[in-house]
């Protein structure tokens, strides 16, 4: 009969997320994790497997809580408002992130686990979920007339995903409202462009 765990798994996973989010995968040691999680190295391995397995679980949990939940909340709004609210929350979060951690998903895309195709596929899938959200909003906005039909929904989604990635990276070194909101205004211009207007 297995012994019951002597720790709160949700709480220690939160600690692992914070550790990886602050330091990244490479700079985080198993000792760092065990210290932050307040468990022994043996308990860490027994509960979560190796460091790589824990990192993926931490990232998947982060994506569900921070990214998927944000999209679900915004999806209930009118399409144009959904896009603007999504980005507005990103700007606000970036400006209040005193540790300049950025987005754990974007950080993973930039420096996650080189040479690990399975992990890379998960990161691509998660970014694809965001792109799909933008595409759905573009399609709905074009259907109700709140978003210009001058650009294909797929192209709008790709542009917005690129703007999101750029915003998250810039905010780590320059968390300035004028910079982030200026980038956002430029990205949102495509939603208003009249047919035939050049970018």
Instruction: Indicate the pLDDT class of residue 199, thresholds 50, 70 and 90.
Output: very low
Predicted confidence (pLDDT) at residue 11 exceeds the cutoff of 50: yes
DSSP string, 50-81: SHHHHHHHHHHHHIIIIIIHHHHHHHTS-HHH
Asked whether the beta carbons of 123 and 56 are under 8 A apart, the reply is no
pLDDT at 8: 78
Predicted confidence (pLDDT) at residue 125 exceeds the cutoff of 80: yes
Q: Rounded to whole angstroms, how far apart are CA atoms 37 and 15?
A: 5
pLDDT at 160: 97
Q: Tens digit of pLDDT for each residue in 143-181?
A: 999 999 999 999 999 999 999 999 999 999 999 999 999
Rama region for 113: left / alpha / beta (φ>0; ψ in -120 to 50; rest): beta
Average pLDDT, the chain: 90
The structural domains of the chain, with segments of one domain joined by +, span: 9-192
Exposure b/e, 134-143, CB count within 10 A at least 16 = b: bbbbbbbbbe
Domain 9-192: homologous superfamily in CATH: Tetracycline Repressor, domain 2 (1.10.357.10)
Chain centroid offset of residue 136 CA = 18
pLDDT at 45: 82
Q: Tens digit of pLDDT for each residue in 18-72?
A: 999 999 999 999 999 988 888 887 888 888 888 999 999 999 999 999 999 999 9
Closest CA to 105 of 73, 63, 75: 63
∠ CA(63), CA(120), CA(89), 5° rounding? 30
Closest CA to 97 of 175, 180, 192: 175
Instruction: Indicate the pLDDT class of residue 5, thresholds 50, 70 and 90.
Output: low
């Amino acid at each position: 009969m297995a012994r019951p765990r002597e720790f709160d798994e949700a709480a220690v996973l939160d600690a692992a997320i914070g550790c990886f989010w602050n330091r990244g995968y490479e700079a985080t040691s198993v000792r760092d994790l065990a210290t932050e999680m307040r468990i022994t190295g043996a308990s860490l391995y027994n509960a979560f497997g190796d460091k790589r397995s824990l990192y993926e679980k931490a990232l998947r949990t982060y994506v569900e809580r921070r990214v998927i939940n944000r999209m679900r909340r915004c999806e209930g709004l009118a399409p144009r408002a959904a896009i603007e609210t999504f980005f507005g929350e990103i700007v606000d979060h970036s400006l209040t992130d005193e540790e300049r951690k950025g987005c754990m998903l974007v950080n993973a895309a930039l420096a996650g686990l080189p040479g690990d195709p399975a992990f890379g596929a998960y990161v691509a899938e998660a970014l694809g979920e965001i792109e799909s959200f933008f595409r759905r909003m573009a399609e709905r906005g074009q259907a109700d007339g709140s978003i210009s039909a001058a650009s294909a929904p797929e192209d709008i989604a790709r542009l917005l995903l690129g703007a999101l990635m750029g915003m998250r990276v810039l905010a780590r070194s320059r968390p300035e409202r004028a910079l982030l909101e200026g980038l956002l205004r430029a990205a949102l211009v495509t939603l208003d462009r009249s047919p035939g207007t050049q970018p």
